[in-house]
Homo-oligomer: A and B are copies of this chain.
Amino acid sequence: MKFLMEHESKEILERYGIKTARCIFVEDEDEALRAARSIGFPVVLKVASRKIYHKSEVGGVLLDLRSEEEVRDAFRRLMEIDGAEGVNVQPMLRRGIEVIVGVAEDEQFGSFVMFGLGGIFVEAIGDVSFRLLPIERRDAEEMVREVRGSRILFGHRGIGADVGSLVELLLRVGDIAERESVVEMDLNPVFAYQDGCVVADARIVVGERRKFEYQLPDLKKYFYPRNVAVIGASRTIGKPGFNIVWNLKQHGFSGKIFPVNPNAERILDLKCYRSVKDIPCEVDLAIIAVPAKLVPSVMEDCAKKGVKGVIIVSSGFSEEGETGAKYEREVIKIAKSNNIRIFGPNTTGVLNTDNNLISSFALLPTIKKGNIGIIAQTGLFLGILMGMIATNHPSLGFSKVVGLGNKIDIDDFEILNFLIQDEKTKVIGMYIEGIRNGRAFYEVARRSRKPIIVFKSGRTEFGKKAAISHTASMCGQDQIFNAMCKQANLIRVFSFEEMLNVARALSLQPLPKGNRVAIVHYTGSGCVQGADAAYLSELELTDLDDSTIRKIRSVTPEWHQINNPIDIWPMVEYYGVYKSYDTVIESLINDKTVDSLVIALWASRISDMTYQPDFKKFKKSEKPIYFVIEGFRDRVFELKNEYEANGFPVYPDIITAIKTLGYVTNYSLKKERH
């Protein structure tokens, strides 16, 4: 690593066409005077040192020096600072809007660029934006827009900046980072004017940049094996080795099942084998459910048999201390030298509704076949959460569900890559705790044309690195992850519930083409709440088209104001639910100012007070329609399942529905732009 001094750093910037306050590095007083004279008063003197990172904190920046005497005095004071190697003399810049631009590296995601506004105050507030390098023009534009104080740049109280020049600066900084092998850069401050911008101070560190290597082998064969060996199969109901075989049989796995147990003849009426080696054909996939200490020898057997894929459901590995970690190392060694790929260990493994392959050791209810793929870094996903999802959302359909457990071999980005290519999968949901190869994840994810919903926990484990550069000190790991999500257009949610809300919408309905929503509610307060939620989700409450208002007028009393959100209650009172809802929904579908519909209704216990549309009619709509159903618990559940079985997602309240639509709309519009 090489720390460049300010004048060296600025030379590089100038070479790439970036305007800087060019400085003259001087080591004695007379030199300083000559420099000041050649620049012209007033000047700025700054201490020059490879060791001092925050010059102003040590009084190392003296501004607006207007005479030779002031320059002499300033030079002497600066040279007295501990670590001073010399002094930089530069012109006093006219005051502009202070901006900070930086580059640093993240362990998981590598090189990134930062943009911030306003010097130390805004630094304290953390009003900065990040993107992984390399960036494109739209990334740079988003970075500038994204900071909270951006309206200062776009013009506020008579101040404003040449935003184009800042975008250009960011692009060039990205370019420099790439070509000059920059590991850290701080341009702080940069002054932004109405005509361009000038870098007032700069610090660059060059060195070897982090490299991220990975491969993307085809995992399809492990999801579509011709047969499966269950090693550690058991006759005892409730034991993992029994449950796995039961699940495979019960859910109707389309291939052959070979239970392996040296002490049993048959399990669930299937012939048992003493060892995987005794199975009389090639084995495509082995599910291993023996105690951890036996797994290495089972892996040896698999290697001998030529098995190329295993799911280790057993726990007792690195998560359980040193002994387990030893087994884990042995397993990895055997796998590596025999080209065996491993799911797990410590996981419920894989569910594929296409062939009913299932490795979960928990007895599962029926999981509906559908287009949602799930990747979860939690051992019990297919055990507990999947049961919860299936019973709460029985109309929701899944393609593949993959639990990753300890991830000693197959990593999330590999599964992600598989699901992106999987024809049966339309929507991908991921639960992530830690990421090992973030760069690989990013590169795979950003190529996806399918929506990817991400729920990441462990947000508060911020990096604890020493704050050397401004840029590095301002980035929590979560902020980099968040920037990555934006850049790859991932839908970042903050709970499993939100993930399922968004997944249901994407699974069942088309994407909206714009952000103009029409909201219908049967109470005034629901309308107000919907309007609030729309505002917070950056959805626009479109003014309805005149023809729409005319159509709705036919089912509403004279005095009723038709606004968006539409309070449908007065219509229902006069014309009943069917006429009111049908008329309103149909006219909104045909309104060219509307991109999406959110319709709330009341699940009365009296049937003809409850709206149940002719679903087929609305299915042709190219605009997404989400419903909200409120009322007595059982009735709501019943209706929700019916609506969802017919292709329309149902949410428990207007706020949740609008928030979900907000996530989907943001994704859709960014996808259009990308």
Contact = CB atoms under 8 A, between A and B. Distances in A.
A128 to B, nearest CB: 12
Contacts of A613: none
A520 to B, nearest CB: 15
A322 B616 CA distance: 41
A462 to B, nearest CB: 10
Contact of A324 (B117, B385, B523, B559): B559
21 contacts: A56-B158, A58-B158, A120-B157, A121-B121, A121-B149, A122-B125, A122-B149, A126-B148, A320-B557, A324-B559, A365-B632, A378-B525, A380-B523, A384-B523, A384-B602, A384-B631, A385-B630, A388-B632, A391-B633, A458-B531, A495-B653
Interface of A: 54, 56-58, 64, 66, 98, 117-122, 124-127, 148-149, 151-152, 156-159, 319-324, 365, 377-380, 384-385, 387-388, 391-392, 431, 433, 457-460, 494-497, 523-525, 528-529, 531-532, 535-536, 557-560, 570, 602, 630-634, 636, 652-653, 655
Contact of A384 (B57, B460, B630): B630
Nearest to A59: B158
Contacts of A524: 319, 378-379, 433
A495 B651 CA distance: 14
Most chain-B CB neighbours within 10 Å: which of A392, A495, A536? A495
Nearest to A159: B120
Given A320-B557, A495-B653, A528-B458, A158 B57 contact: yes
A460 B531 contact: yes
Nearest to A66: B66
A560 B316 CA distance: 11
A459 B433 CA distance: 34
Contacts of A460: 531-532, 535-536
A570 to B, nearest CB: 7
Contacts of A324: 559
A630 B389 CA distance: 10
Contact of A633 (B120, B392, B495, B535): B392
Contacts of A525: 377-378, 431, 433, 457
B120 A122 contact: no
A493 to B, nearest CB: 11
Contacts of A148: 124-126
A458 B320 CA distance: 52
Contacts of A54: 157-158
A526 B531 CA distance: 33
Contacts of A653: 495-497
Contacts of A380: 523
Given A121-B121, A152-B120, A495-B653, A433 B528 contact: yes
A568 to B, nearest CB: 13
A641 to B, nearest CB: 11
A652 B652 CA distance: 14
A653 B148 CA distance: 32
Contacts of A531: 458, 460
Nearest to A121: B118
Contacts of A124: 148-149, 151-152, 156
A326 to B, nearest CB: 12
Given A457-B529, A653-B495, A630 B125 contact: no
Contacts of A560: 320
A388 B633 contact: yes
Nearest to A561: B321
A558 B602 CA distance: 55
A-B pairs, 8 with minimum CB distance: A321-B559, A118-B121, A378-B525, A391-B633, A57-B158, A460-B535, A457-B528, A457-B529
Contacts of A388: 630-633, 636
Nearest to A478: B532
A632 B458 contact: no
B57 A157 contact: yes
A496 B570 CA distance: 24
Which of A125, A158, A460 has most chain B Cβ within 10 Å?
Answer: A125
A392 to B, nearest CB: 5
A631 B362 CA distance: 12
Contacts of A121: 98, 117-119, 121-122, 149, 152
A18 to B, nearest CB: 23
A249 to B, nearest CB: 20
Contacts of A494: 655
A549 B492 CA distance: 37
Contacts of A655: 494-495
A149 B118 CA distance: 12
A632 B391 contact: yes
Contacts of A636: 388
Contact of A523 (B322, B379, B602): B379
Contacts of A157: 54, 56-57, 120
A407 to B, nearest CB: 13
A122 B119 CA distance: 11
Nearest to A316: B559
Nearest to A459: B532
Contacts of A523: 378-380, 384
Contacts of A156: 120, 124
A525 B431 CA distance: 9
A303 B248 CA distance: 77
Given A433-B525, A460-B532, A460-B535, A570 B391 contact: no
A188 to B, nearest CB: 12
Contacts of A633: 388, 391-392
A391 B637 CA distance: 12
A135 B535 CA distance: 32
Given A125-B127, A379-B524, 9 more contacts: A121-B149, A124-B151, A319-B524, A321-B558, A321-B559, A378-B525, A460-B536, A495-B655, A497-B653
Contacts of A496: 653
A152 B121 CA distance: 7
Query: Chain B CB within 10 Å — which of A148, A159, A388 has the most?
Result: A388
